[in-house]
Each structure stands twice: as structure tokens, then as C-alpha cells.
């Protein structure tokens, strides 16, 4: 968390250099993901998100930058992706530092959170989609979001 915070501070300085007005918003958020969640999931028969596959407690990390202009967004987006990658790379140097699971609500369009649910859960989701949405209305006609049909 200290490394993520340090990298956040560096990013803010880069954003200030790009937009000296400081008219932007950033967030560096940490949320505990206790092992109790996976334990309760196992006791309840599992969780389609695959939370029970995690071997221990974790910390969810959310990186946010909001810019006012398209130019600002174009400047900031690759920097945020680099920030997240640097945090993941650093976490990988710590035993148990990276969990495979990605929280869908915190995921970026460049990530694939559904793939982190595990092959068995992906198949369950695909089976449910086939059964309850055979015409793939939610896969093809609803814009945005992560689609189970896009997961290999």
C-alpha cells in the first residue's frame, strides 16, 4: 500500500505539470478482502466470482484519475495503467502479494475480470447465459460492460 501511495503521489505531480490548475481528481483506494469472505463462500457452496479460490486475505486496489478534457484523459489514461502495472509488479515481489482474482467493479476496460473467476465458474456463467439469454440480448444488444461471451 505504501508503494501504491508513493506512485500515486508521483502521478499527481505529473498531472499537475500537465494541468497546473489542478482541476482533476485522483483516488488511491484500498479495501480489505479478508479470508473470511472466501471461507464463508466455501461454507455456502461457492461463489461464481471465484472468491473461494483465494488462498488468503488480500487488499483490493482501486486507481482513479478523472480529467476534465479529452486531452487530459488521453494524457492520464496510460499513466494510470502504468501505475496499476507498477503496483502489480511490486506486489509480485512479495510472497502472496498478487491474487489472481480481479474485482469487476474496480476493473478497467483493458482488464479481463471475468477470466479471473476460474474456468469452472466461467462455464457456469456461459451455461446460464445460454439458458436464460439464448438470443444473446445482454451479450450483443447491451453496450458496455464485461461480457461472458468475450471470455475465452
Kindly report the average pLDDT of the chain as a whole number: 93
How far apart CA 66 and CA 48 sit, in angstroms, is 31
Pairing label, strands 58-67, 24-33: antiparallel
- In angstroms, the first-to-last Cα distance of the chain is 32
Range of the domain at 114: 2-150
CA–centroid distance for 87 within its chain = 13
DSSP H/E element including 41: helix 35-43
Model pTM greater than 0.95? no
Each residue of 70-97: pLDDT tens digit?
999 999 999 999 999 999 999 999 988 8
Each residue of 128-137: pLDDT tens digit?
999 999 999 9
Q: Based on the number of CB atoms within 10 Å of its own CB, is 72 exposed (0-12), middle (13-18) or buried (19 or more)?
A: middle
Give the pLDDT of residue 47. 85
What total of structural domains would you count in the chain? 1
Nearest Cα neighbor of 65 from 56, 54, 55, 74 is: 74
Amino acid at each position: 500500500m505504501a508503494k501504491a501511495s508513493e506512485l500515486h503521489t508521483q502521478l499527481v505531480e505529473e498531472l499537475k505539470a500537465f494541468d497546473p490548475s489542478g482541476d482533476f481528481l485522483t483516488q488511491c483506494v484500498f479495501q480489505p478482502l479478508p479470508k473470511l469472505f472466501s471461507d464463508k463462500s466455501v461454507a455456502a457452496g461457492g461463489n461464481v466470482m471465484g472468491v473461494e479460490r483465494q488462498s488468503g486475505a488480500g487488499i483490493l486496489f482501486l486507481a482513479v484519475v478523472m480529467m476534465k478534457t479529452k486531452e487530459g484523459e488521453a494524457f492520464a489514461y496510460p499513466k494510470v495503467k502504468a501505475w496499476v502495472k507498477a503496483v502489480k509488479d511490486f506486489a509480485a515481489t512479495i510472497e502472496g502479494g498478487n491474487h489472481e482474482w480481479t474485482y469487476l467493479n474496480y476493473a478497467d476496460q483493458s482488464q479481463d475480470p471475468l477470466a479471473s473467476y476460474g474456468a469452472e465458474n466461467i462455464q457456469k456463467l456461459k451455461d446460464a447465459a445460454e439458458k436464460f439469454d439464448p438470443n444473446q440480448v445482454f451479450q450483443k444488444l447491451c453496450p458496455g460492460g464485461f461480457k461472458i461471451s468475450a471470455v475465452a
